[in-house]
């Protein structure tokens, strides 16, 4: 057993010297975050799960917040990739609808990571430039898409963009609740019944939402 542990440490330290350990740790932290929730993610648990010494992760993450920032950065990059609209091509409302669905799908499938990304565990994104850039990227891409659709000034475009973002973001939370409740709910009472209808007809709902925002 000691021999195996030594080999694992050797392999990981070798990876570190080749500049791979940080990414390996981030990948592991992302898996732990999604599996257990970010509140249970720590540098100690990361070291144990990765098979490295307790001090090894501190070479890359000085604090737990720095670790959170790296996981959130990875999440925002994946969200951007899922929702990216090529603005060099003709942009239509359908693009926003499709990417809105992708956004919601990401938020539901990666619920624990999503909570970290949009929560308060990392208090100031400006302390982590890569996180700030990745967090802004999806919004800026959506804003560019709106610019192609609406012949309006920057302030109006920004308002339309944040309005759509707010609605999509809110739907993530509501539809996650629908998913949790399942059939254990009286469908004739409260907002869940309407939310369930939206969940079953998401693309049609977003089409109406996007049309209303773009045209008004």
Burial bucket for residue 24 (CB in 10 Å: 0-12, 13-18, 19+) = middle
Which residue carries 């700030």 as its tokens?
A: 132
Angle made by CA atoms 15, 19, 23, in degrees to the nearest 5: 85
Q: Is the separation of the CB atoms in 56 and 21 below 8 Å?
A: yes
Question: Which pLDDT value is given to residue 180?
Answer: 77
**Total count of residues recorded for the chain:** 216
Q: Which domains does the chain have, with CATH numbers?
A: 2-62 (no CATH), 69-215 (1.10.357.10)
Give the separation between CA 53 and CA 46, rounded to whole angstroms: 10
Report the pLDDT value the prediction gives residue 186, as an integer from 0 to 100: 60
Helix ranges, the chain (H): 2-17, 21-36, 43-50, 64-83, 93-109, 111-118, 129-149, 154-181, 192-200, 202-215
Q: What is the pLDDT of residue 124?
A: 96
Cα-only R_g, the chain: 21
Alpha-carbon gap, residue 76 to 132, rounded angstroms? 9
Q: What is the pLDDT along the chain (216 residues), one digit of tens a residue?
A: 333 343 444 344 444 444 689 999 999 999 999 999 999 999 999 999 999 999 999 999 999 999 999 999 999 999 999 999 999 999 999 999 999 999 999 999 999 999 999 999 999 999 999 999 999 999 999 999 999 888 889 999 999 999 999 999 999 999 998 887 765 656 566 677 788 888 889 999 999 999 999 887
């Amino acid at each position: 057993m000691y021999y195996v542990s030594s080999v694992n440490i050797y392999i990981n330290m070798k990876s570190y010297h080749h500049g791979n350990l940080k990414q390996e740790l981030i990948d592991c932290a992302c898996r732990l975050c999604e599996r257990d929730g970010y509140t249970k993610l720590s540098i100690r648990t990361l070291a144990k799960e990765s098979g490295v010494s307790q001090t090894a992760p501190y070479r890359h993450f000085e604090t737990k917040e720095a670790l959170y920032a790296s996981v959130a950065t990875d999440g925002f990059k994946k969200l951007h990739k899922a929702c990216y609209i090529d603005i060099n091509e003709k942009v239509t409302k359908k693009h926003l609808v499709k990417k809105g669905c992708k956004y919601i799908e990401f938020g539901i499938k990666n619920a624990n990571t999503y909570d970290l990304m949009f929560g308060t565990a990392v208090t100031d994104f400006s302390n982590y430039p890569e996180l700030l850039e990745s967090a802004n990227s999806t919004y800026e891409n959506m804003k560019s898409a709106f610019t192609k659709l609406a012949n309006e000034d920057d302030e109006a475009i920004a308002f339309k963009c944040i309005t759509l973002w707010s609605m999509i973001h809110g739907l993530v939370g509501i539809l996650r609740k629908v998913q949790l409740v399942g059939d254990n709910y009286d469908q004739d009472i409260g907002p869940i019944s309407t939310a369930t209808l939206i969940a079953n007809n998401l693309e049609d709902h977003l089409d109406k939402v996007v049309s209303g925002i773009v045209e008004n």
